[in-house]
Amino acid sequence: MHQPQPTLIPTHYLPPPPQNRPRPQQGEWPIPHFRLRVEDLSHPGAQLFFEQVNPLQSLHNAVVEVFKDLYTPDTVPQEVETVVLVLRSMPGVAHTTGAEIYKEIHFSLEYLQQQRSSSRARDEINGVLVHEMVHCFQYNGKRKCPGGLIEGIADWVRLQADLRPPHWREGRGRTWDEGYEATAFLLDWIESKYGQGIVRNLNLTMRDRQYDDEIFREQTGRSITTLWKEYREYIDRVPKA
């Protein structure tokens, strides 16, 4: 008689395996373990991905970029042990899920496939990875941070990494927290006018406290409403390309 076979469970329903190896360090940065799951290896999007990037290097670089821009070795979060990159068929571009110690970045194979004709496919892949990696490590003000600021900080880090896509235009957006590059460029302008390190401080403030618009005044002496007005005036003065 055959023993009944144990039911095979897809690995993504299981918690991450215990890590026997200590996490790699880069200087004082606690680099997480990386895992890669490709749900359809023969998909043209997967092929394009492997042609364009070295996954370990891209994930590593994305983490270091996030740490450099949002933290110092003294403040960097230590709890994220594992980041899994999942290439799979799905609508949209990418998103991040997970718990405190374990994060998954889901990246669309169809979106990757669309980059085949692009001369900047590598930058686009790395830019998306940086954006999603921010979500693995940023704080959210006890879940009260506006979604637009969460997305704005993610694209602000992408901007710092010099991975902005060519379609980004400064000055878009009707409200300060419209998100993505609209808020990213606002944050960039705030730092250029009121001092480097403000975005890092905003993020860190949201570690232990509920989000409140006042955090902008604490960092700049101006309310976010005033900052947005000043920024719009600045944009109106900039000659249009």
Binding site for Zn ion (CB under 5 A): 151, 154
CA neighbor of 158 nearest in space, from 135, 128, 192: 128
For Zn ion, give the closer residue by CB, 154 or 206. Answer: 154
In angstroms, give the least distance from the CB of 100 to Zn ion: 19
For Zn ion, give the closer residue by CB, 86 or 220. Answer: 86
For Zn ion, give the closer residue by CB, 44 or 148. Answer: 148
For Zn ion, give the closer residue by CB, 65 or 151. Answer: 151
In angstroms, give the least distance from the CB of 186 to Zn ion: 16
For Zn ion, give the closer residue by CB, 46 or 136. Answer: 136
The span from the CA of 104 to the CA of 98, in Å, is: 6
CA 64 centroid distance within chain: 12
In angstroms, give the least distance from the CB of 74 to Zn ion: 26
In angstroms, give the least distance from the CB of 158 to Zn ion: 10
The span from the CA of 116 to the CA of 50, in Å, is: 12
In angstroms, give the least distance from the CB of 180 to Zn ion: 8
In angstroms, give the least distance from the CB of 59 to Zn ion: 17
For Zn ion, give the closer residue by CB, 154 or 220. Answer: 154
In angstroms, give the least distance from the CB of 132 to Zn ion: 7
For Zn ion, give the closer residue by CB, 84 or 220. Answer: 84
DSSP string covering the chain: -PPPPPPP--GGGSPPPPP-SPPPEETTEEPPEEEEEES-TTSHHHHHHHHH--HHHHHHHHHHHHHHHH--TTTS-----EEEEEEE--SSSEEEEE-SSEEEEEEEHHHHHHGGG-TTHHHHHHHHHHHHHHHHH---TTTTS-HHHHHHHHHHHHHHTT---TT--TT--SSTTS-HHHHHHHHHHHHHHH-TTHHHHHHHHHHHS---THHHHHHHSS-HHHHHHHHHHHHHHSPP-
What interhelical angle do 198-208 and 55-70 show, nearest 10? Answer: 90
